Amino acid sequence: MNLEDLAAIHAIYNRQALWLLAQVEPYLRGYKAGRAQLILRDYLTLTPRNGKYTEKLQLAREHFETAVLGIKPIDNG
């Protein structure tokens, strides 16, 4: 088995990734926990299955992405 085969074994997407995130979310700490909670709460609502966004949904999605990435680690340095 080569490295590419191993990568394919561990590739997950879409709802599988959300399911996995929901399983590990209780164990996350700090900013990762905050990001995970926001993603689990809003991602499905803001992501149409057909990939077609209305203008209103696109703006909400952009706000969501900004909010998720706005949760930053605390700089202890």
Task: For residue range 19-66, list pLDDT tens digits in order.
Answer: 999 999 999 999 999 999 999 999 999 999 888 999 999 999 999 999
The domain spans of the chain are 14-70
Distance CA 50, CA 32 (A): 28
> What is the pTM (predicted TM-score) of this model?
0.80
pLDDT of amino acid 40: 97
- Contact residues for 62 (Cβ-Cβ < 8 A; gap 6+): none
